[in-house]
Structure 1
Amino acid sequence: MSNRRSIRPAGASVPDSGDRDVVGIPGGRHLGRTRAGRGLVMVAFTLAAVLVALVGFVAIQLFRLQANVDTQPLNLGSGQESALPVDLNTDPVQILILGTDTRTRPGGKTAGGETLPPGGGNSDVMMLMNLSADREDVTVLSFPRDLLVPLPSCLPPAGGERSTAMDLGQLNGALASGGPGCTVAAINSLTGLSIDHFMMADFDAVKELSETLGGVEVCVTEPVEDEYSGLSLPAGTSEVEGEQALAFLRTRHAFGDGGDAGRIKAQQAFLASMARKVQAEETLSNLPRLYSIAETITRNLTVDDGLSQVTALLKLADRVKDVDLGNMAFVTVPTMPWELDPNRLVLDEEAAEPLFAAMREDRSLTEPSPSPSPAPSGDSGSDETEAPAPARPAIDAAAVPVTVVNGTGSAARATRVQAMLVAEGYESAQTLESIGAPVTQVYFGAGYDAAAAEIAALFGIDAAQLIPSPSAVGVEVLVGADFLTGVTVKPDPLGGQLQGQTAEEEVCQQASGF
């Protein structure tokens, strides 16, 4: 038998071989289907390889972010228990946000080379953020750095001697005494809350985050040149980033009366503006942008162990990305001057308790509280006759210099507000054009506080927008975008009871003129 294979001429027909296998395929009838099957196998293999590579890439990036995060324990001082674990997806979550007055470097040194205190410097910013369980509200409560409160005994995280408890000490010093957990303990004791987590950042975080976002819009009523912080801004709206963003947040001389209240208002306005920008640009839904922000934040962030995983931080971002800006409230804890030193503050307990209760009960600050039930007819609930409200001092309206500063862009609107003032007896009222202003405010010089309060009441302007100004001649009414029509400004979303704003409001800072 010959072992030679026959060679068939090109184009010759192949005889029918029945079900004989051709090239390993029964009868040759599934050749096209098998090639398609092989193609699908190759596609699946390629997709699998891409997915493996993608998962590996994500894992590497998360590992990089994870390596950035520094942690400290949520040590709540002696004799205090830690908060119970919370579900970052479904529970109300309270996070203390601390900004330190240091520029840290490797080895625990400041930018100037000084060794840091045990806790890492003093708190330049102290804000308590509450994320509601229904994902509809965010409340941020600011604490002045000059506030005097009871301080617990705390053990510094890096070791050393336990700090001494104090009946009254400056709140921003708790960080240096025992780390962020000591500030957590002090605020827990002050408010009756049980803070779940903390985040602490230094100066570099503000600089780098503002640069990553491409700048943050801020507004000032007059040009600012502050030699102490280096803040330099023209009147109106500007975008700040880097050193100028840091100067805007840190200055104590540029705004208001040159104290901590003006600085806190500027910080709240900055965060509100940042929230508006992040939502407008859908930053938290844009993965590359979100990663850039996450890298910036984690590189400059210290958190408690419960937030040490990057996935936990991403859950928090998911909690806030869709919250309505009108439901993001920035408020300041009610305080009063300390009787022994008016340059220091103590808690106004009567005004603060309803605020703390709302946070403990996870209630919105931008919705009206339920009214108390009326007393039964014929029963006042008290044997004492309610004292009448004190009468306002008489105002000689004709003798009060009033300037209507028009920030609406409409000359007709300024003329209308002037006419309303003249009708109330403020015969000397005149108008002055200015830059656009988002909110109506009343500035007053020395001796004109009663007249300013009367004018504010006339137009329904919140008491928080009554601002003493050494440069004001008499009373100046800055008419803003919330007073374009009607005889009163839009209602204050915080009900006029709290000092602060929502993220929806664009607030201009009053330059101090110092």
Structure 2
Amino acid sequence: MVPPIKHAERGRLGAASTLVKFLAIAIAVVLVSGASVAAIAVTSIATQVSANSIDIGGSSGAPAEAHVGAFVGGFNVLIVGTDNDASQGNAFGERDATLNDVNILLHVSADQKSGVVVSFPRDLIVDHPACTDPSTGTAYDATYNEALNTGYERGGLACIKTTIENLTGLAIPYAGLISFNGVIEMTNAVGGVPVCLAEPIKDTDSGLDLPAGTSTISGGTALAFLRTRHGVGDGSDLARISSQQQYLSSLVRTLKSANTLTDVTKLYGLAQAAAQNIKLSTTLASLDSMVSLALALKDVDLAKLVFVQYPGTTGDADYPGKVVPTIDVADELFAKIKADEPFTLNADSTGPGSSVVSTPTPGATDTPAPTSTDTPAASGAPTPTPTSNVIDGVTGQTAAEQTCASAFGN
């Protein structure tokens, strides 16, 4: 049995992969309201977003100019969560470096009916290509076989984007950066997120203390749930990703529920919190781009939005405490993603410390995500042999699935 991965405890945040989507939906809904006061408020938000934007360099995946309602086809958005960002001081521990401890890629299919959210382990061993930070002009040499979360210190968001592009083969035209404070404010703005625990979890390292069952968490408690590693599963960072995926799927369900999407005040508060706490790429930091992406995202079915971990293994003697990519599985996964081909996950694939309890979302289809495109045979015609779309070795869940986190050691 492989021992739990041990890392220097630097904390980890979640909820980032859908934050750009939430901001865009909020702005779109407020714009549609047509009220002059709302229009002024939205203009103020857009100004904040533009002022905080980050140049991530050119990408063949970005349209030259986006227009409201005119965005077509699939797209990719990278969200990076920084650990101990300089702007937050030592509130979450003494800083000795700023790391990109959360790296999440959202892919939306060309027909905009399904999506895949990929979480990359922070200690994933990767090659970092040579890159130049467009914001500073500083050039960085390539490095090899190093943890992914060292990327921020060698070129910021632009260089992380280049590393993920090289690793996945996907063009990434849009990106965003968020820190701990952003997670707290965004969770508060949505009114809290329900999470399920199979047993009580008390973790003094993260400060999490929750009973068994379902609790609606916000603020510092939400951050503690997303950061806890020693409290869940096998005590590894991979178990923490499973908990974060539970949180993300619940957050998406909350945002798509009627009481959220019809509450303009709540949506405006969400947009304002995002504008103040998220730095978006210059390719995304405009009303046209954000509203266009919002309109593209609004019809994605929860059962066709799947959260997965980048495939990797632990226990390699050459990289103790790190995650080594499982190349053949990763190649299969990203070939499916790039071609928008349907795939499914094994029934027991939620990851360490997490298990599916139900698929409670009203209106979601019962089909696993992404769904098969096979059509039923005509009456009297022979039934075709089903084609397996399962990718062995990939863990995750759909946004329609409710999972529960298990306490460490259970």
Aligned-pair CA distance for 1:84: 3.9
Aligned counterparts, 1:69-468, within 5 A: 69=49, 70-75=52-57, 82-86=59-63, 89-105=71-87, 121-159=98-136, 161-281=138-258, 283-337=260-314, 338-366=316-344, 462-464=347-349
Which secondary structure does the structure 1 equivalent of 2:185 belong to? Answer: helix
Query: Given residue 150 of structure 2, which amino acid in structure 1 is its aligned partner?
Result: G
Deviation by residue 1:266-313 (Cα, 9 ceiling, x = unmatched): 111101001111112353454333222111111111111111113422
1:505 aligns with 2:401: yes
User: Which digits, 9 at most, give the CA deviation of each residue in 1:235-285, with x for residues without a partner?
Assistant: 111111000101111112111111111111111110100111111235345
- Matched to 1:214, the amino acid is G
How many Å separate the matches in 2 of 1:203 and 1:364? 34
Note the residue ranges of structure 2 that are not aligned, 5 or more in a row: 1-33, 360-365, 371-389
Matching residue's letter, 2:121: P
- Aligned residue for 1:146, secondary structure, equals coil
**Match of 2:45?**
65
- Residue identity matched to 2:244: Q
What is the CA–CA distance in structure 1 between the aligned matches of 2:96 and 2:277, rounded to whole Å? 16
The answer on whether the counterparts of 1:110 and 1:116 sit within 8 Å (CA) in structure 2 is no
Distance across 1 between alignment mates of 2:176 and 2:351: 33
Structure 2: distance between partners of 1:365 and 1:282: 32
CA deviations 1:468-491 (Å, max 9, x no partner) are 89xxxxxxxx89558xxxxxxx99
Q: Structure 1's 126 and 186: CA in aligned 2 closer, same or farther, altered over 3 A?
A: same
> By how many angstroms is 1:151 displaced?
0.3
Bigger radius of gyration: 1
Q: Could you tell me how far apart the structure 2 residues matched to 1:110 and 1:91 are?
A: 43
Kept in 2, the 8 Å contact 1:463–1:496? The answer is: no
Q: Of the two structures, which has the highest relative contact order with CA contacts closer than 8 Å and spacing of 6 or more?
A: 2
Q: CA deviation at 1:208?
A: 0.8
Q: 1:191 to 1:232 in 2, by over 3 A?
A: same
Pairwise CA distance, 1:212: 1.0
User: TM-score if structure 2 supplies the norm length?
Assistant: 0.76
Contact 1:65 1:294 in 2 (8 A): yes
Task: Say whether the 8 Å CA contact 2:56–2:134 is kept in structure 1.
Answer: no
Q: Contact conserved, 1:333 with 1:352, CA < 8 A, in 2?
A: yes
Task: Give the 3 Å change call, closer, same or farther, for CA 216–129 of structure 1 in structure 2.
Answer: same
Hey, what's the Cα distance between the residues in 1 that align with 2:155 and 2:263? 38
Cα deviation for residue 513 of structure 1 reads: 4.1
- Aligned partner letter, 1:222: E
For residues 467 and 182 of structure 1, the distance between their equivalents in structure 2, rounded to whole angstroms, comes to 30
1:186-234 Cα offsets, whole Å, 9 max, x none, are 1111111111110111111111111111110111111111011101110
Q: Report the count of equivalent residues.
A: 343
Q: Kindly indicate whether the alpha-carbon contact (under 8 Å) linking 1:174 and 1:182 is maintained by their aligned counterparts in 2.
A: yes
Indicate the larger mover: 196-205 or 154-163: 154-163
- Matched residues in 2 for 1:481 and 1:115: separation? 40
Seq. identity, %: 34
Match of 1:51 in 2: none
Cα-to-partner distance string for 1:9-66 (whole Å, 9 max, x where unaligned): xxxxxxxxxxxxxxxxxxxxxxxxxxxxxxxxxxxxxxxxxxxxx7753442123102
When the two chains are superposed, the root-mean-square deviation of aligned CA atoms in Å is 2.9
Contact 2:56 2:157 in 1 (8 A): yes
Work out the CA distance in 1 between the residues paired with 2:280 and 2:288.
13
